């Protein structure tokens, strides 16, 4: 099972959904469900994960996109994955880290 890590931008988007003027409990629940699926299996059929050609701000990163919801105002998770690395550059063998690059409206 992959470990989830968040970029500062993704963490801010989650924090905005939790509290403040832009709090949205319904969307937060959907985002959390999508993140749980992503942590369990990045290729879960409900996420409809696929490669994203060029994510703004991450042009040299092989990014993937997954559905949070559909329709008008749909949201997506943009993420990348790779082997875990520790402080010395060595990770647990076979460990995988999924880095959530962006959480937000469909681009």
Encode the chain in three state secondary structure.
Answer: CCEEEECHHHHHHHHHHHCCCCCCHHHHHHHHHHHHHHHHCCCCHHHCCEEECCCCCCCCCCEEEEECCCCCCCEEEEEEEEECCCCCCCCCCCCEEEEEEEEEECC
Q: pTM of the prediction?
A: 0.82
- In the chain, which stretches have pLDDT less than 70? 58, 60, 84-94
For the stretch 17-31, pLDDT in tens is 999 787 889 999 999
Give me the domains of the chain, ranges plus CATH numbers: 3-105 (3.30.2310.20)
Percent of the chain at pLDDT above 90?
Answer: 41
């Amino acid at each position: 099972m992959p470990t989830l890590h968040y970029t500062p931008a993704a963490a801010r988007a989650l924090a905005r959904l939790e509290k403040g003027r832009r709090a949205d409990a319904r969307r937060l629940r959907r985002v959390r469900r999508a993140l749980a699926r992503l942590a369990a299996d990045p290729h879960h059929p409900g996420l409809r994960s696929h490669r994203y050609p060029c994510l703004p701000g991450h042009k040299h990163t092989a990014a993937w996109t997954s559905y949070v919801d559909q329709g008008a105002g749909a949201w997506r998770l943009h993420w990348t994955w790779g082997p875990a690395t520790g402080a010395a550059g060595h990770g647990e063998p076979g460990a995988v880290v999924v880095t959530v690059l962006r959480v937000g409206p469909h681009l």
